Structure formats: C-alpha cells, structure tokens
Amino acid sequence: MKKSNLFTVIALAIVTLFCTNATAQEFKDLDKSPMDVASYPVDYRDANKLMKISYSRPQLKERTLAKLAPNGEVWRTGANEAAELTLYTDMMLGDTMVEAGTYTFYTIPGEDEWTAIISNDLNVWGSYFYKEENDVARITVPVTMADESLEAFSIAMSQAENGIDMHLGWDKVRVTVPFTKK
C-alpha cells in the first residue's frame, strides 16, 4: 500500500472514530417504575380496542401501600406521570357518560373503598396539579382483599356483563372499576 493511501485510511479511521463518539446517544437506565399498558380486548393484536390505560408500575420494595398511595389523597394511579386513559367509544362510569377520548385517570384510595376519577387533565406529572373542577366522572367502588400480594402495582381488564371491568391491584388490595357500554 502506498504511503498516501495508508495515510488516507488512517485519517478516515480517526475521523470515523471521533464522529461516532460525537453523535453517540446516551440512554438512561430502565425506569424503576416501568411504564405499562392494559387494554380491552386484552389481545394486543386486536386493533379494535374499546379502552386502554397507560401507567407506570411502582414496586412496594418493603414499603407500605399506605405510604405510596395514601388513603384519602388523590393518587396518580401508578408512578411518574398520571395514568392516561383512552376510551375508543363512549362509555359510562357510574351514572356519567364519558365521551370517547383521552383523559387522566386518578384514584383516591381508602381502607374500604376507592374513588376512581376521570379528568380532563392531560400530560400531568403525578397528581400535584390535580383540579377537581376538571373531573369528567367519578365513582366509588369497594375494596376487596386477596390472599396473595402483588409487589408491582398492576392494572388488568376483563369483559363484564354490560361493559368492561378495570381491575387495580397492589399488595393485597383489589379494586374493580366498572365501565358500561352506552
């Protein structure tokens, strides 16, 4: 190889090395409360969803549920950003009709019952800026206790007699929020 060609190859290698490092992305570690989605129908390949909720899944990590989601206080229903509920069709929450659209889903935990809240708030971090005047619908539902404890906060959906049940579970607490078809 000629000297000039060798010099060119070395120069290109050095330039490539510096350009690669200059444009390299820094990716953060996995979130301690990873984001998840629950939807209905549950089959993720079914494009005809009726509803979907995006939320982060905090872990107990030897902490109490009462410390992470205090009774009587509005809770973001997960961690990080407040849970975001999308209805693809009009649904009823209790006696209130909720139009298809995207909303924030808050809860108020309690020992015997929880209040589920659908709010017009969007793109909010936590529940720090919750405004009751933005509520679209509320319903109070009973708490049941399970034998098994869930380390990570979880949401699942199932078909109900006249709609969809959204199941919330964490530690041994279980709450079912009924949505009915309009």
Confidence of residue 115 (pLDDT cuts 50, 70, 90): very high
Which of 138, 136, 130, 131 minimizes the C-alpha distance to 102? Answer: 136
Res 23 pLDDT > 90:
no
Tell me how far apart the alpha carbons of residues 21 and 124 are, in angstroms, rounded to a whole number: 35
C-alpha neighbours within 13 Å on the C-beta side of residue 86: 13
Which residue is associated with the tokens 């009009």? 90
Work out the widest C-alpha separation in the chain, in whole angstroms: 84
Which of 28, 4, 87, 91 minimizes the C-alpha distance to 53? Answer: 87
Buried/exposed 9-20: b ≥16 CB within 10 Å, e otherwise: eeeeeeeeeeee
Which of 134, 129, 174 minimizes the C-alpha distance to 150? Answer: 174
Q: What is the pLDDT of residue 15?
A: 61
Lowest mean pLDDT among 11-20, 24-33, 61-70, 142-151: 11-20
Q: What is the pLDDT of residue 22?
A: 54
φ/ψ (deg, to 5) at 45: -85, -10
Q: What is the pLDDT of residue 182?
A: 75
What's the one-letter identity of residue 34? P
| Mean pLDDT, residues 5-9 | 65
pTM of the full predicted structure?
A: 0.82
pLDDT (tens digit, 9 = 90+) per residue, 51-78?
999 999 999 999 999 999 999 999 999 9
Res 17 pLDDT > 60:
no
Confidence of residue 11 (pLDDT cuts 50, 70, 90): low
CA 105 to chain centre: 9
Q: What is the pLDDT of residue 48?
A: 83
